[in-house]
């Protein structure tokens, strides 16, 4: 029989109990946010880096679903017959003016914190810039005002960057072995967990099977282990189902 979420939580129980027992006064408490959150998620609680990543992905899907809902594909047919591709038609309908003034919370979530969701290879391939360069460009191009960020240096490059960060689904895995290993190294060795980091990582991922996350708009995302062994999530932007692989 396949290893289930209940099996994972049972096997992890000593480790989960230990992480739950860590007092905020411990010097390493703040340096293990993912482990603390995963422990909480195993018991249907807590919000931290992982849920925030899931929420950012949901926000990108909401944006894509909104754009799909606005597209009039009947208008595309005559344009395509004249040599315009469907991709070109979709691009021609993008409202880049939305990036001139952006709500502060939305800006912080998707364009400041959200930059971390993408790998260096992806950014260099698609934007010809590394993460630090992109961060600097965004900081130089926008000025914070009361409740929003306003663009001061508009260019095709910055608009392309903002568009990519807002709508691309080619993000890093939801959770990596490297991240778990780094946090385990911050826990005193006597408390265990380090002797088989890959197994612990696998158990933590399996413990997310069946977890349901509720977003600010009331829509829910359900995590599950697919038949292939991947951790996937079914998101419902505008109540339309999108299933995405989160960890292969």
DSSP per-residue string spanning 212-234: EEE-TTS-EEEEEE-TTS-EEEE
More confident call, 4 vs 207? 207
Q: Cα separation of 111 and 143, whole Å?
A: 13
Mean pLDDT across the chain, nearest whole number? 86
8-state DSSP, 48: S
Q: What are 118-170's pLDDT values in tens digits?
A: 999 999 999 999 999 999 999 999 999 989 999 998 999 999 999 999 999 99
- pTM exceeding the 0.75 threshold for the entire prediction: yes
The structural domains of the chain, with segments of one domain joined by +, span: 5-51+173-247, 67-167
Q: What are 85-129's pLDDT values in tens digits?
A: 445 545 556 788 999 999 999 999 999 999 999 999 999 999 999
pLDDT for residue 91 = 58
Cβ distance 57 to 171 under 8 Å? Answer: yes
Q: Cα separation of 209 and 233, whole Å?
A: 9
More confident call, 97 vs 44? 97
Distances (CA, A) of 144 to 32, 130, 140: 31, 23, 11
């Amino acid at each position: 029989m396949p290893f289930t979420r209940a099996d994972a939580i049972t096997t992890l129980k000593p480790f989960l109990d230990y992480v739950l027992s860590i007092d905020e006064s411990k010097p390493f408490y703040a340096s293990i946010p993912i482990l603390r959150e995963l422990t909480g998620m195993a018991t249907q609680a807590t919000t931290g880096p992982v849920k925030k990543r899931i929420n950012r992905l949901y926000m990108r899907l909401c944006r894509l679903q909104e754009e799909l809902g606005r597209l009039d594909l009947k208008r595309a047919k005559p344009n395509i017959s004249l040599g315009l591709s469907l991709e070109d038609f979709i691009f021609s309908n993008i409202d880049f003016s939305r990036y001139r003034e952006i709500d502060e919370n939305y800006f912080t979530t998707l364009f400041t914190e959200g930059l971390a969701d993408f790998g260096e290879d992806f950014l260099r391939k698609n934007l010809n810039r590394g993460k630090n360069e992109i961060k600097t460009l965004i900081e130089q191009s926008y000025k914070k005002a009361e409740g929003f960020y306003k663009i001061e240096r508009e260019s095709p490059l910055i608009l392309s960057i903002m568009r990519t960060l807002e709508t691309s689904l080619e993000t890093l895995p939801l959770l990596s072995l490297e991240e778990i290993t780094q946090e385990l190294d911050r826990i005193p060795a006597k408390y265990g967990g380090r002797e088989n980091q890959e197994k612990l990582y696998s158990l933590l991922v399996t413990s997310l099977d069946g977890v349901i996350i509720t977003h600010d708009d009331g829509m829910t995302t359900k995590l599950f282990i697919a038949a292939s062994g991947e951790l996937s999530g079914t998101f419902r932007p505008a109540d339309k189902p999108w299933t995405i692989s989160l960890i292969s």
